């Protein structure tokens, strides 16, 4: 699939009218550049649009967020087998979106076929998490703004001027720039999409947003009042002014004339100037805003660090009180927070575990001795299993702050971890890395796709000299590997040995 998966009409299963009991039939689309998800449908046929960069997750099947409205569930037949025995849930696509990881919203769509739902779920997530799109050039973001305006046409098929006015702060300057480009003479008129070309939009921006600082550079480079730079002048600018002189010329050689010429052909739209090996001020401005001049070079977006060192040699992206959405005294706890922090790349998350009440004896997670709400431990483990490795394959460390003093409930916690995480849960030490003092830890690369759990356990001293290792000054506490509980090993540490906690990768629950 390219940027636009093929999808026959789908159902937008939000109820927009209070008295309506029928979802809206719509057609989902993605623009060719992969900037926006948009759809039309309903009585007014208005275009609704969602910035794909704001999509934080996509889900289908049993992982989708089922609609709560009983009317929707009844109309769509949730819980009943559909055609060919396929449950309705299998056709559901949930799009999680928001400006930040706390304030997220959910959009639900139902495809006609289960395979279609899977394709849209996978492809939208790829677009939303594309690292090049997240670090695009200035020109790309201008193209994105242009695309949004082109998509939001009114019922007459024209681009409303009000949408352009909303995009910029100074309305009077916007109106003046539009008139200078001949696009519109009054605010009531819309703009025909065929008239609003990419070149016309760039001309409009040039009239609206003057760049005197670029003009000064242009003059300094040797234009001397002429509306162009020569090939030699541009070459001197790129190789002498732009290039870091400290770079090794063998590994990072200066650009050759042929390469500079290719850049001129890429950014200069005036054919007559290209024939004379010249670039205009407009072409020069486009070059400065192009992918060659992004803040972070594309080659630096890949993992360039050595990930084969012991785990203790790295800093870790960590989250404290992961479950909280707001303040830690009266705030709301949410299972969704565990999904969101993992999707953002966090590799160490905290679970404050407390003993469940007698009626169900289900452990829960909350901020103890406060008025924060509670969330089920099991649901958190399921959310972690779902999202741990969707955006990063590197190991996830679960920091258990374990206040559960019931052996029965601790056993239940252990069982949840073993059954839900499955093979991803690291229980036994790796063969090359036995749990003994001074033994280096496995590297992140060797722990790909693994979930490690750290938890403080009360140290039980035994009379037998073989059961414990003596503590010596300056050494970390001993690892008690005998007597595993349900195949789960223990880690004992002193409060100051925080990094040693990360070094040991067995699971402790009792």
Helices 198-208, 171-180: inter-axial angle, 10-degree rounding: 130
Do 101 and 152 have their domain in common? no
222-251 burial by CB neighbour count: b if 16+ within 10 A, else e?
ebeeeebbbbebbbbbbeeeeeeeeeeeee
In a domain, 251, yes or no: yes
In a domain, 2, yes or no: no
CB 492 within 8 A of CB 509: no
Residue indicated by tokens 């910035």: 51
Task: Look at residue 235 and tell me whether its pLDDT is greater than 70.
Answer: yes
* Distance from the Cα of residue 396 to its chain's centroid: 17
Do 113 and 172 have their domain in common? no
Residue indicated by tokens 């203790």: 312
Q: Which has the higher per-residue pLDDT, 259 or 68?
A: 259
DSSP H or E stretch at residue 375: strand 375-376
pLDDT at position 70 is 80
Q: How far is CA 194 from CA 158, 198, 242, 305, in A?
A: 9, 10, 38, 48
Instruction: Tell me if residue 320 is catalytic.
Output: yes
Task: Look at residue 499 and tell me whether its pLDDT is greater than 70.
Answer: no
Report d(CA 309, CA 305) in Å as an integer: 10
Do 448 and 493 have their domain in common? yes
User: Pick from 269, 299, 329: which residue ends a domain?
Assistant: 299
Do 335 and 448 have their domain in common? yes
Q: Which domain holds residue 164?
A: 138-208
Do 246 and 323 have their domain in common? no
pLDDT at position 498 is 37
Task: Look at residue 69 and tell me whether its pLDDT is greater than 60.
Answer: yes
In a domain, 1, yes or no: no
Q: What mean pLDDT is reported for the chain?
A: 84
Residue indicated by tokens 């409930």: 409
Do 290 and 324 have their domain in common? no
Query: Once rounded to an integer, what is the mean pLDDT over residues 65-91?
Result: 73
CB 490 within 8 A of CB 481: yes
Kindly report the CATH number assigned to the domain that includes residue 38.
2.30.29.240
In a domain, 289, yes or no: yes
Q: How confident is the model at residue 508 (pLDDT cuts 50, 70, 90)?
A: very low
Instruction: Tell me if residue 459 is catalytic.
Output: no
Do 321 and 290 have their domain in common? no
Task: Look at residue 486 and tell me whether its pLDDT is greater than 70.
Answer: no
Beta strand 364-365 with 375-376 is antiparallel
Q: Which range (259-268, 452-461, 483-492) has the least confidence?
A: 483-492
Q: How confident is the model at residue 117 (pLDDT cuts 50, 70, 90)?
A: very high
Do 284 and 160 have their domain in common? no
Catalytic residue among 320, 403, 459, 460: 320
In a domain, 316, yes or no: yes
pTM: 0.83
CB 45 within 8 A of CB 157: no
Q: Which are the contacts of 350, defined by CB distance < 8 A and separation ≥ 6?
A: 319, 320, 321, 322, 323, 399, 401
In a domain, 53, yes or no: yes
pLDDT at position 334 is 97
User: Pick from 134, 150, 184: which residue ends a domain?
Assistant: 134
Task: Look at residue 490 and tell me whether its pLDDT is greater than 60.
Answer: no
Do 222 and 197 have their domain in common? no
User: Pick from 267, 299, 331: which residue ends a domain?
Assistant: 299
In a domain, 3, yes or no: no
Do 493 and 349 have their domain in common? yes
Catalytic residue among 22, 97, 313, 367: 367
Tell me the per-residue pLDDT of 255-283, one tens digit each, with 9 for 90 and over: 999 999 999 999 999 999 999 999 999 99
Longest dimension (CA), the chain: 93
Query: Once rounded to an integer, what is the mean pLDDT over residues 381-402?
Result: 97
Percent of residues, the chain, with pLDDT higher than 70: 82
Kindly report the CATH number assigned to the domain that includes residue 241.
1.10.238.10
Tell me the per-residue pLDDT of 1-50, one tens digit each, with 9 for 90 and over: 334 444 445 555 554 444 455 677 888 899 999 999 999 876 667 789 99
Do 402 and 498 have their domain in common? yes
Q: Which range (27-31, 95-99, 299-303, 376-380) has the least confidence?
A: 299-303
pLDDT at position 73 is 77
Q: Which range (14-18, 138-142, 228-232, 438-442) has the least confidence?
A: 14-18
In a domain, 4, yes or no: no
- Highest mean pLDDT out of 43-57, 223-237, 385-399, 423-437: 385-399
Phi, psi of 203 (to 5 degrees): -65, -40
DSSP H or E stretch at residue 127: helix 114-128
End-to-end CA distance of the chain: 49
Q: How many domains does the chain have?
A: 4
Task: Tally the C-alpha atoms within 13 A of residue 449's C-alpha that lie toward its C-beta.
Answer: 3
Query: Once rounded to an integer, what is the mean pLDDT over residues 246-250?
Result: 92
433-465 burial by CB neighbour count: b if 16+ within 10 A, else e?
bebeeeeebbbbebbeebbbbbbbbeeeeeeee
Task: Give me 287's structure tokens.
Answer: 């070059």
Kindly report the CATH number assigned to the domain that includes residue 377.
3.20.20.190
Do 363 and 252 have their domain in common? no
CB 96 within 8 A of CB 59: yes
């Amino acid at each position: 699939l390219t940027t636009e998966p093929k999808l026959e009409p789908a159902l937008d299963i939000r109820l927009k009218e209070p008295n309506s009991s029928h979802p809206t039939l719509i057609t989902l689309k993605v623009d060719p550049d992969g900037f926006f998800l948009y759809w039309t449908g309903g009585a007014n046929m208005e275009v609704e649009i969602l910035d794909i960069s704001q999509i934080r997750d996509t889900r289908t099947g049993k992982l989708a967020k089922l609609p709560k409205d009983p009317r929707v569930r009844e109309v769509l037949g949730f819980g009943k087998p559909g055609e060919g025995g396929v449950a309705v849930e299998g056709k559901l696509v949930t799009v999680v979106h928001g400006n930040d990881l706390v304030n997220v919203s959910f959009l639900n769509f139902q495809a006609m076929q289960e395979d279609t739902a899977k394709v849209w779920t996978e492809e939208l997530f790829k677009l939303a998490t594309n690292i090049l799109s997240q670090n695009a050039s200035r020109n790309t973001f201008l193209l994105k703004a242009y695309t949004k305006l082109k998509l939001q046409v009114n019922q007459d098929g024209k681009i409303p001027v009000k949408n352009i006015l909303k995009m910029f702060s100074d309305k009077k300057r916007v109106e003046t720039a539009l008139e200078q480009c001949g696009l519109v003479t009054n605010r009531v008129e819309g703009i025909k999409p065929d008239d609003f070309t990419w070149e016309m939009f760039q001309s409009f921006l040039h009239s609206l947003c003057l760049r005197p600082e670029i003009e000064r550079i242009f003059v300094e480079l040797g234009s001397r009042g002429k509306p162009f730079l020569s090939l030699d002048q541009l070459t001197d600018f790129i190789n002498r002014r732009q290039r870091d002189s400290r770079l090794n010329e063998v590994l990072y050689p200066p650009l050759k004339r042929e390469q500079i010429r290719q850049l001129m052909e890429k950014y200069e739209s005036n054919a007559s100037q290209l024939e004379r090996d010249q670039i205009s001020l407009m072409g020069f401005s486009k070059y400065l805003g192009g992918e060659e001049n992004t803040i972070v070079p594309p080659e630096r977006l890949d993992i360039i660090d050595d990930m084969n060192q012991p785990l203790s040699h790295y800093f870790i992206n960590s989250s404290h009180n992961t479950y909280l959405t707001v303040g830690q005294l009266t705030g709301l706890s949410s299972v969704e927070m565990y999904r969101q922090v993992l999707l953002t790349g966090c590799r160490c998350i905290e679970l404050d575990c407390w003993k469940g009440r007698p009626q169900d004896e289900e452990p829960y997670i909350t901020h103890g001795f406060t008025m924060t709400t509670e969330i089920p431990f099991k649901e958190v483990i399921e959310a972690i299993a779902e999202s741990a490795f969707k955006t990063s394959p590197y190991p996830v460390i679960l920091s258990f702050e374990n206040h559960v003093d019931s052996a029965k409930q601790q056993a239940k916690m252990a069982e949840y971890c073993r059954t839900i995480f499955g093979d991803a849960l690291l229980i036994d030490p790796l063969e090359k890395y036995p749990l003994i003092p001074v033994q280096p830890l496995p590297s992140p690369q060797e722990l790909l796709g693994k979930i490690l759990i750290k938890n403080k356990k009360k140290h039980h001293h035994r009379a037998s000299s073989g059961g414990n290792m003596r503590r010596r000054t300056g050494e970390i506490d001993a690892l008690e590997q005998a007597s595993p509980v349900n195949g789960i090993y223990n880690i004992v540490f002193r409060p100051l040995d925080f990094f040693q906690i990360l070094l040991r990768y067995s699971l402790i629950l009792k």
